[in-house]
Amino acid sequence: MPRVITVGAAQLGPIARADTRAQVVGRMLALMHEAKANGCDLVVFPELALTTFFPRWYFERPQDIDVFFERDMPGPDTQPLFDAARTLGLGFCLGYAELVEEDGQEGRKTRHFNSAITVDKSGAIVARYRKIHLPGHAEHEPWRRFQHLEKRYFERGNLGFPAFRANFGEGKAGIFGMAICNDRRWPETYRVLGLQGVEMILIGYNTPVHNPPAPEHDALSHFHNQLVMQSGAYQNGTWVVGVAKAGKEEGVEQIGNSIIVAPSGEIVGACTTTGDELAVARCDLDLTASYKNTTFNFAHHREPEQYRMIVERKGAVPPAKG
Ligand code: CDT
């Protein structure tokens, strides 16, 4: 019997800075109900889904930053998502800003991560990921029309790219992985998960149309979005679900273009607006096999020893002789 997981890409339109968590969670619950009505087993929400994309502003005071972070997951505002998972029998993947209080040798330490969790149909958190490729800059750069201060507000993720087994019902178990936004542009993300046999990668993102250091890329933002996820899927024989926070948010235009990509690299589901929208696709996890067992049979065709020789040379091309 094929292992078919029906997935909903639960794109969110803009979230204003003044919007409350309860308002946003209300919108997410509406998408979860729509997903259930469409037969979904799993819905994927965007990166930093509970708030506006706050790294676009420069803040100095910790209290101005920490309001965007969750100390508990679930907390009082997010508990309804977990309750809905249980009552609807619907898993979800959620991106959010995670604040962790740790007791270390030097006393209490507050840590900030750009994180995602996967929750199963019983409402249990089955996996956690913390964003590794943090884009942007750490200092205020007033020349930009808007900031991208992820390197200021987040620590680099410390959990690696772990693939995990999850079960979304009878005949709906598989190997999953998560990545967040800028991670999707890096082949290493997919390959590290691919080497663990991943069958479906869940990715949320917030991507402005305008890239201040390279405005010449703006017109290619949708093309690049699709290019990286389609090639990541094909080259690793995996499903990829990419979900945007879209539309004009606090004056900044963000791409939508949420897509569900098959292991063939083909797009099989897509959002067509820049608002709250659900795109649904039936994803047969067993379709991964014909790629993993043939063209991308890693055990048979990869040449890690050859790659290592180049890495040890640090990738630099030796100077020309003579
Ligand atoms: N949130 C996030 O990671 N955004 C980045 C913007 C980089 S500008 C090309 C992204 O890779 O989409």
Q: What is the DSSP string of 45-102?
A: --TTTTS--GGGS---SHHHHHTTSBSSSS-TTTHHHHHHHHHHT-EEEEEEEEEEEE
For residue 281, which of 32, 40, 18, 25 has the smallest C-alpha distance? 40
**Ligand 1 atom closest to Cα of 205?**
1
Whether the upstream peptide bond of residue 74 has omega within 30° of 0, thus cis, is yes
Question: What local confidence, expressed as pLDDT, does residue 274 receive?
Answer: 98
Show contacts of 164-168: CB within 8 Å, 24+ apart. 164/118, 164/126, 164/127, 166/91, 166/118, 166/120, 166/126, 166/127, 167/120, 168/5, 168/41, 168/42, 168/91, 168/120, 168/121
Over residues 124-170, the pLDDT tens digits come to: 999 999 999 999 999 999 999 999 999 999 999 999 999 999 999 99
Angle among Cα 154, 31, 41 to the nearest 5 degrees reads 90
Answer yes or no: is the C-beta of 186 below 6 A from any ligand 1 atom: no
Q: Which mutation among 207, 216, 229, 249 tests ligand 1's pocket best, with the greatest number of atoms within 8 A of CB?
A: 207
Determine the Cα–Cα distance for residues 263 and 237; give it in Å rounded to an integer: 5
More reliable by pLDDT, 106 or 189: 189
Q: How far is the CA of 319 from the centre of ligand 1 (A)?
A: 35
**Ligand 1 atom closest to Cα of 217?**
9
- Say whether pLDDT at 304 is over 90: yes
Q: How far is the CA of 183 from the centre of ligand 1 (A)?
A: 9
Answer yes or no: is the C-beta of 146 below 6 A from any ligand 1 atom: no
Question: What local confidence, expressed as pLDDT, does residue 105 receive?
Answer: 76
Answer yes or no: is the C-beta of 181 below 6 A from any ligand 1 atom: yes
Residue whose CA is closest, atom 3 of ligand 1? 182
Determine the Cα–Cα distance for residues 39 and 260; give it in Å rounded to an integer: 16
Answer yes or no: is the C-beta of 231 below 6 A from any ligand 1 atom: no
Answer yes or no: is the C-beta of 185 below 6 A from any ligand 1 atom: yes
Asked if residues 114 and 97 have their Cβ atoms less than 8 Å apart, the reply is yes
Determine the Cα–Cα distance for residues 41 and 288; give it in Å rounded to an integer: 19
One-letter amino acid for residue 82 of the chain: F
Instruction: Label each residue of 257-270 as H, E or C.
Output: CCEEECCCCCEEEE
| Domains of the chain, each with CATH number or no CATH | 4-296 (3.60.110.10)
Answer yes or no: is the C-beta of 52 below 6 A from any ligand 1 atom: no
Residue whose CA is closest, atom 12 of ligand 1? 207
Residue whose CA is closest, atom 9 of ligand 1? 211
- The model's confidence at residue 6, banded by pLDDT at 50, 70 and 90, is very high
Range with the lowest mean pLDDT among 5-14, 219-228, 312-321?
312-321
Sheet holding 267-270, edge to edge: 164-167, 173-180, 200-205, 239-244, 259-261, 267-270
Residue whose CA is closest, atom 4 of ligand 1? 207
Q: How far is the CA of 294 from the centre of ligand 1 (A)?
A: 33
The residues carrying an active-site annotation are 47, 131, 181
Determine the Cα–Cα distance for residues 69 and 171; give it in Å rounded to an integer: 36
Determine the Cα–Cα distance for residues 246 and 275; give it in Å rounded to an integer: 6
Asked if residues 242 and 230 have their Cβ atoms less than 8 Å apart, the reply is no
For residue 237, which of 301, 168, 154, 320 has the smallest C-alpha distance? 301
Answer yes or no: is the C-beta of 182 below 6 A from any ligand 1 atom: yes
The average pLDDT across 221-235 equals 99
Q: Which mutation among 148, 218, 229 tests ligand 1's pocket best, with the greatest number of atoms within 8 A of CB?
A: 148
One-letter amino acid for residue 239 of the chain: W
Instruction: Work out the mean pLDDT of the chain and round it to a whole number.
Output: 96
Question: What local confidence, expressed as pLDDT, does residue 103 receive?
Answer: 82
- The model's confidence at residue 310, banded by pLDDT at 50, 70 and 90, is confident
- Which of 196-206 are b and which e, b meaning 16 or more Cβ less than 10 Å from the residue's Cβ? ebbbbbbbbbb
